[in-house]
A and B are shown apart, each in its own frame.
Chain A
Amino acid sequence: MRHNGRGEHCVVPHRILIIDDEDDIREVAALSLETVAGWEVMVANSGAQGLVRAAQYLPDAILLDVMMPGMDGPTTFRELRKNPVTARIPVVLLTAKVQSSDQRRFADLGVEAILFKPFDPMTLATQIASALGWD
């Protein structure tokens, strides 16, 4: 749940945008965040679609896949930051890459957090909330 501008608790669920080209990952993540946490989830199946939906819906956070055809996660992230409308939306990277060199490269981008695939559908929301200071 979110706070309103006066610091009061609201019953408005968090709104999160999932950008991932893999439909199985995208649907399981959406199911997890909706069912376990009760968040409102939007999805995009490419970086380009993600940029449009982020500007359109202004989610509270974005869960962004790294390896996507066309516009990959890091490029999508930089484009989000270039646009004043989406520049301040927190971004959590989701990656199956586990090599430390990749992790350093992703951390240098300036994302809020990096989560790794495979994720546990029962705890994904907790991990995101913890990374973003929502708990």
Chain B
Amino acid sequence: MDAKEQQLMAEALDRMWAKFLPQLTERVDVLETAATALSAGRLTLEQRSAAHAAAHKLAGVLGTFSLTKGTVLAREAEILYSAEPENDAAAPVRLTDIARQLRVLIEQYK
């Protein structure tokens, strides 16, 4: 690809980011809701499953938009939700922090 083609591709990716931003934000919402419920000792199986799926999807896509740190954070959340975070004393604080960091990363991108 020459420089002009790369520029066109970058612009197309920017449009994709704008298009899918609401969807990405919704996935972070799911992570925040689950982390809040976990902290309160009320995480349901459904919330855990939804948070696991949301984290998996974020891990797969954020790096595609050059947000490598977002992929690393989401992957950590995916691993924590795939185990039993209810039995991990450190999980509520960590998962809350991951959701917060993902929110900031996504909001500050572009």
Query: Looking at chain A, what size class is its interface with the partner chain?
Result: 10 to 19
B16 touches A118 (CB 8 A): no
| Residues in chain B within 8 A of chain A (CB atoms) | 1, 5-6, 8-9, 12-13, 16, 19-20, 23-24, 56-57, 59-64, 68, 71, 75
How far is it, in angstroms, between the C-alpha of A23 and the C-alpha of B19 when the chains are bound? Answer: 11
A118 touches B75 (CB 8 A): no
A122 touches B6 (CB 8 A): yes
Main secondary structure of the interface of B (DSSP, over half): helix
Residues of B close to A35: CB separation below 8 A: 5, 8-9, 12
From A32, A96, A120, give the contact of B60 (CB < 8 A).
Answer: A96
Residues of B close to A8: CB separation below 8 A: none
Extra A-B contacts (12), CB below 8 Å, given A31-B12, A31-B13, A118-B63? A22-B61, A23-B20, A24-B20, A24-B24, A24-B61, A27-B20, A28-B13, A35-B5, A35-B9, A35-B12, A36-B1, A96-B75
B37 to chain A, nearest CB (A): 23
Interface check A121, CB cutoff 8 A: yes
0 or 1 for each of A1-32: is its CB under 8 Å from B? (1 = yes): 00000000000000000000011110110011
**What 8 A-B pairs have minimum CB-CB distances, sorted nearest first?**
A118-B63, A96-B60, A117-B60, A24-B20, A118-B64, A24-B61, A96-B59, A118-B71
0 or 1 for each of A27-48: is its CB under 8 Å from B? (1 = yes): 1100110011000000000000
| Residues in chain A within 8 A of chain B (CB atoms) | 22-25, 27-28, 31-32, 35-36, 67, 96, 98, 117-122
Residues of B close to A25: CB separation below 8 A: 60-61, 64
A119/B64 contact (C-beta < 8 A), A24-B23, A31-B16, A36-B1 known = yes
Q: Which residue of B lies closest to A67 (CB)?
A: B56
